[in-house]
Chains A and B, each alone.
Chain A
Amino acid sequence: MTTVSAVSSTAVAPARVRSASLGTSRKRPDGGPKVKGEFAFSSDLWAEGALWGKVLRSPHPAARITGIDTSRARNLPGVKAVLVADDVPGNPFFGLEMKDQPVFASDVARYMGEAVAAVAADHPEVARKAAELIEVTYEPIDPLVDPERALDPVTPPMHPMGNTVRHISVRHGDAVASGDVVVEGTYEVGMQDQAFMGPESGLAIPDEDGGVDLFISTQWLHVDRDQVADCLALPPDKVRLHLAGVGGAFGAREDVSLQVHICLLALRTGRPVKMVFSREESFLGHVHRHPARMSYRHEADRDGRIVKIEAKILLDGGAYASSSTAVLANAACFAGGPYLVPNAVIDADVVRTNNPPCGAMRGFGAVQVCHAYEAQMDKLAAALGMDPVELRLRNALQPGDELLTGQALTGAAPVAEVIRRCAEAPLPPGGPADEPGSMTLPGGAGRTADPTRVRRGIGFAVGFKNLMYSEGFDDYSTARCRIEHGIVTVFSAAAEVGQGLVTLVEQIAEDVFGTDKIIVAPADTGVGSAGSTSASRQTWMSGGAVDAACRKARDSLLDLAARRHGTVAAVLEVREGRVVSFDGEIDETIEEATGGAAIEETVEFRHAPTFPLDERGQGDAHVSFAFAAHRAVVDVDLDLGLVKVVEVTTAQDVGRVLNPVQVVGQIEGGIAQGVGLAVMEEILVDQGLVRNASFTDYLIPTALDMPLVQIAALVEEPEPGAPFGAKGVGEPPTISSTAAVAAAVRAASGLALTRVPIRPEHIALAAPRQGEAGS
């Protein structure tokens, strides 16, 4: 993939940040080892004497369990433990928002892949065989797989907590307001997977104190720890989590997967236990993006100004709640898009079904509704005979405007600017007919496409979402800075999942101390929670915490040095790793300045408080928002239904760029996932059964399928209240890129295409076909 980037010269102005460190690209400390295959991922862990763990999973999406006989498994030589629900010493349930998911299914299995038992053995093959020898008696039940039916009050609950996980009504402004022009549509989003490369894996080592050390790839060490400790009936300080090398996350590592099972096995056997999911298990063993059905009605005046939006949003949460309530809140809050919507009537539900559990994925509820509201905006533009970009500009939110939740936009909101900058960027030259038989046609080297049947389409979309946690959640991050023997060490439990926080932490600490002699300690629960690596929050939250901890430690260092020299700290500063006075009288190393003492400062950093939504869906639920626009250019062979995404152009509201190459990385990666959802990525579920739990059948774009990414602008309007003015950049690239590609395929094909991912047959078997005899 090649990036046409305007980052270096115009969009990024290093002079506007404090130092030579922040605002510059730099090598990631883990970059070289990852490229060379030397980086230790969690699946590479090993401990002397370790056993192998394996989980037995339900093959049924819904079944009563009437018996589990583990005797044959226990008698297999090499098997050290076989555990079922009765072996869980503490809380038998876990979950992020509500503890509704059993550690092991005991009386009923509610989705295909639900854990029923776990085994530890001295060899992975023995563990696998032992799991097969566990005899579970299932009585299959007709699975509840239709979310509409789950919503119906007459449908019996498939879970003791009921089928509806959450309902949100938004009533904003005048419910009976009406416009001159009305467009309606019903839209669907399929179940996307995060499709990270590194499968779930970990190593649990029991300690003589009765506790356990768990080395795990996760997004949030402390929320894992609290759930594990609760299930193990151990005090939290007896469960010590250490971040192991994470091979991608994208939301799928927010939930507990193997954490409890592997710790139970380690404590039961008294030996280290390692577990690595197969790819099939990984697909079955983590949550996915919620599939959505959305019905919309937009009313606008003749000038194209939105008068009212009515929407019904239904998310399929699958068998357990995971983070469904927060995903739904996002879907409801952002249902109107980044537009001024004076009147709104929105009803949003997320339900339990016997489909695979759904939870966090990059974009988190904002992606699904963006697909719908942006298709509606195009429909509205067509109904008005107006240019789609002009329509969006006319409705774009501005600072001070109210969202449909009644919250006023107090931060940076360069919506019109991202739209304008993206729309003004040059289009890729030529078209498909210019290069007959070329590699650049849909199908590439296979030459399948016929240039005379290829049509180019251009689509535009804008999206937004919240940064950080919302609805009154006590969202904070802890960081510690220690200065000892002249060495500055930074401690944070924030999970590096590939996004590059490790680089940024170094940059921030360097910025404070003026030296690159900074050690970033491995992330573990030895320091307080950093919160989740999700919601585009770590740059703001852990970046802010690290900055605050380093500054506090630096101030203590200056105080210490001032006392030693009988002066005041105000005349001292830290410059290039030395403590110097303005008059030049004092100039010593940090080690000399501490005089043998150790300085340690720990900071908890919080963003401004947020508040729950009231019964009308109104409230200041979010602290900050980020916006992005995408323009997609596609070539579609109408007879084959084959889509080639030629280019995606974007402009994004970033607050401030702290590390240009990492911003570009997030944008390219996010667009890859957005393109994937638009044209190929979907977990296929048939009556609750997952049909494509492999990378052979779950398609993600390869480098050859990835379009050229043109970054038209990184719009730098510093965000008030944000450390360094920087907004998180991870999620906006996924939100409207899908909608832009879908719009482009619609433009090329002339088809409605209300569902993503768009499959080739939806185009080929619907499009009027030319030149094909007999049709």
Chain B
Amino acid sequence: MIPASFDYVRASTADEAVQRLSEAGEDAKLLAGGHSLLPLMRLRMATPSLLVDIGGMRDLSYVKDGGDSLAIGALTRHGELARNELARREAPLLAHVAGQVGDPQVRHRGTIGGSIAHGDPASDLPAACLALGASFVTASPRGEQTRSADEFFTGFLETALAPDEMLVEIRVPKSAGATWSFQKFNRRAQDWAIVGVALARNGSTRIGLVNMGATPLRATAAEDALAGGASPAEASSRAGDGLAPPSDLSASAEYRRHLARVLVRRALEEAVAG
């Protein structure tokens, strides 16, 4: 499968990249690891007229201590994040989830910024960011902006990012003392999750869900039940409440709700035990 033709430029700084985007209008897309965008282009579900390649900006690949939070450059590859000592210590859920994305080839090329900016409900990292209360720093001609993960995912493959805006950093509150669990269900090794659960328990419990709706989202009904003192079993029974999971070739909505209940319960039990 061959994508439609497109123009290609390489940007070496975030400012240059957003400048290019703002000149080109809505038909331009950023290219980082290419693992979300290129498959869509090959299927011609995406036909950008211009690709701005930001994959070479190695200065946006880092994990830094930012005081109360961890600062992760948007171009940090999944494999780098999974192996990073600081991330493993201060945001172990995120490092673990990065190590569960796709297969080694995907983790070698895919970037955390790309995964989040794509806004795919089937991706693992957005759910982990929701569970960890992460925030996202962006650059645009209007300057730098920070949004919480909770306000970032707005629709199916849609985010709060403006067409000329670029995600540059992910900030994750340090959670060295938190307990956590990640449950990824797929029928076949290395596939996308049919349903996934990323759970962080640090005083309160936050639960991010994979593939349980049009966006990466939280199991708020289950979280509220826990906050109200419900047992893991009671809370997990509400894991699908208020959600409209898709029925597709992989699973019916009913089965997804069932999986969410089972996986949230298992995640809670693991996090409590941990």
In the complex where A446-B100, A448-B183, A705-B189 touch, is A773 in contact with B2 (Cβ < 8 A)? no
Min CB–CB distance B97 → chain A (angstroms): 10
Asked if B266 lies at the interface with its beta carbon under 8 angstroms from chain A, I say yes
Question: Cβ of B183: which chain A residues have Cβ within 8 Å of it?
Answer: 446-448
Question: Cβ of B184: which chain A residues have Cβ within 8 Å of it?
Answer: 443, 446, 448
Residue contact B261 to A761, C-beta cutoff 8 Å: no
Contacting A699 at CB < 8 Å: which of B187, B234, B237?
Answer: B187
Instruction: Give A679 to B187 CA distance when docked, in angstroms.
Output: 9
Contacting B255 at CB < 8 Å: which of A445, A684, A702, A765?
Answer: A765
Instruction: Give A692 to B183 CA distance when docked, in angstroms.
Output: 26
Min CB–CB distance A128 → chain B (angstroms): 9
In the complex where A124-B2, A443-B185, A446-B185 touch, is A773 in contact with B255 (Cβ < 8 A)? no
Q: Quick one: CB contact mask for A704-729 with B, threshold 8 Å, 1 for yes?
A: 11000000000000000000000000
Asked if A680 lies at the interface with its beta carbon under 8 angstroms from chain B, I say yes
Asked if A183 lies at the interface with its beta carbon under 8 angstroms from chain B, I say no
Q: Quick one: CB contact mask for A744-775 with B, threshold 8 Å, 1 for yes?
A: 00000000000000001100110001011111
Is the contact region of chain A dominated by helix, strand, or loop, or is it mixed?
loop
In the complex where A278-B1, A445-B100, A765-B258 touch, is A684 in contact with B185 (Cβ < 8 A)? no
Instruction: Give A641 to B258 CA distance when docked, in angstroms.
Output: 11
Min CB–CB distance B227 → chain A (angstroms): 17
Residue contact A704 to B189, C-beta cutoff 8 Å: yes
Asked if A474 lies at the interface with its beta carbon under 8 angstroms from chain B, I say no
Asked if A701 lies at the interface with its beta carbon under 8 angstroms from chain B, I say yes
Instruction: Give A276 to B159 CA distance when docked, in angstroms.
Output: 37
- B110-118, B148-156, B246-254: which lies at the A interface? B246-254
Question: A278, A447, A765, A769 — which one has the most chain B CB atoms within 10 A of its CB?
Answer: A447
Question: Cβ of A125: which chain B residues have Cβ within 8 Å of it?
Answer: 2
Residue contact B188 to A702, C-beta cutoff 8 Å: yes
Q: Which of A373-421 contact B (CB under 8 A)?
A: none
Instruction: Give A13 to B268 CA distance when docked, in angstroms.
Output: 57
Instruction: Give A773 to B231 CA distance when docked, in angstroms.
Output: 10
Residue contact B185 to A642, C-beta cutoff 8 Å: yes
Q: Which of B218-274 contact A (CB under 8 A)?
A: 231, 233-234, 236-237, 249-252, 254-255, 258-259, 261-263, 265-266
Instruction: Give A446 to B198 CA distance when docked, in angstroms.
Output: 12
Interface residues contributed by chain A, number (CB under 8 Å): 36
Question: Cβ of B145: which chain A residues have Cβ within 8 Å of it?
Answer: none
Min CB–CB distance A129 → chain B (angstroms): 11
Residue contact A639 to B189, C-beta cutoff 8 Å: no
Min CB–CB distance B160 → chain A (angstroms): 28
Asked if A444 lies at the interface with its beta carbon under 8 angstroms from chain B, I say yes
Instruction: Give A443 to B183 CA distance when docked, in angstroms.
Output: 10
Contacting B188 at CB < 8 Å: which of A699, A772, A773?
Answer: A699
Residue contact B255 to A761, C-beta cutoff 8 Å: yes
- In this complex, what residue of B is CB-closest to A692? B249
Q: Which of A113-141 contact B (CB under 8 A)?
A: 124-125
Asked if B146 lies at the interface with its beta carbon under 8 angstroms from chain A, I say no
Instruction: Give A761 to B189 CA distance when docked, in angstroms.
Output: 17
Q: Quick one: CB contact mask for A438-471 with B, threshold 8 Å, 1 for yes?
A: 0000011111101000000000000000000000
Asked if A697 lies at the interface with its beta carbon under 8 angstroms from chain B, I say yes
- In this complex, what residue of B is CB-closest to A445? B100
Residue contact B233 to A773, C-beta cutoff 8 Å: yes
Q: Which of B179-193 contact A (CB under 8 A)?
A: 182-191
Residue contact B259 to A640, C-beta cutoff 8 Å: yes
Instruction: Give A429 to B72 CA distance when docked, in angstroms.
Output: 44
Question: A446, A684, A764, A771 — which one has the most chain B CB atoms within 10 A of its CB?
Answer: A446
Question: Cβ of B251: which chain A residues have Cβ within 8 Å of it?
Answer: 760-761
Residue contact A772 to B2, C-beta cutoff 8 Å: no
Min CB–CB distance A673 → chain B (angstroms): 15
- In this complex, what residue of A is CB-closest to B237? A774
Instruction: Give A642 to B183 CA distance when docked, in angstroms.
Output: 13
Residue contact A448 to B263, C-beta cutoff 8 Å: yes
Question: Cβ of A639: which chain B residues have Cβ within 8 Å of it?
Answer: 262
Instruction: Give A686 to B189 CA distance when docked, in angstroms.
Output: 26
Min CB–CB distance B123 → chain A (angstroms): 14
Contacting B236 at CB < 8 Å: which of A641, A692, A702, A772?
Answer: A772
Asked if A691 lies at the interface with its beta carbon under 8 angstroms from chain B, I say yes
Question: A640, A702, A771, A775 — which one has the most chain B CB atoms within 10 A of its CB?
Answer: A640
In the complex where A448-B185, A764-B258 touch, is A773 in contact with B234 (Cβ < 8 A)? yes
Question: Cβ of A124: which chain B residues have Cβ within 8 Å of it?
Answer: 2
Instruction: Give A573 to B105 CA distance when docked, in angstroms.
Output: 57
In the complex where A445-B100, A640-B185 touch, is A773 in contact with B259 (Cβ < 8 A)? no
Question: Cβ of A705: which chain B residues have Cβ within 8 Å of it?
Answer: 188-189
Question: B183, B233, B254 — which one has the most chain A CB atoms within 10 A of its CB?
Answer: B183
Instruction: Give A641 to B254 CA distance when docked, in angstroms.
Output: 14
Residue contact B190 to A704, C-beta cutoff 8 Å: yes
Question: Cβ of A641: which chain B residues have Cβ within 8 Å of it?
Answer: 255
Instruction: Give A760 to B255 CA distance when docked, in angstroms.
Output: 9
- In this complex, what residue of B is CB-closest to A643? B187
Question: Cβ of B190: which chain A residues have Cβ within 8 Å of it?
Answer: 702, 704
Q: Quick one: CB contact mask for B1-14 with A, threshold 8 Å, 1 for yes?
A: 11000000000000
Min CB–CB distance A43 → chain B (angstroms): 13
Interface residues of B (CB under 8 A from A): 1-2, 100, 182-191, 231, 233-234, 236-237, 249-252, 254-255, 258-259, 261-263, 265-266
Besides A639-B262, A760-B255, A773-B236, 19 other CB < 8 A contacts? A443-B184, A443-B185, A446-B185, A446-B186, A447-B183, A448-B266, A641-B255, A680-B188, A684-B249, A699-B191, A702-B188, A705-B188, A765-B254, A765-B255, A771-B233, A771-B265, A772-B237, A773-B231, A774-B234
22 sampled A-B residue pairs with Cβ under 8 A:
A124-B2, A125-B2, A443-B186, A446-B100, A447-B182, A447-B183, A642-B187, A680-B188, A684-B249, A692-B249, A697-B250, A702-B190, A704-B190, A705-B188, A760-B187, A760-B255, A761-B251, A765-B258, A772-B261, A772-B265, A774-B234, A774-B261
**6 nearest CB pairs, A to B:** A704-B189, A774-B237, A773-B233, A446-B184, A761-B255, A773-B237
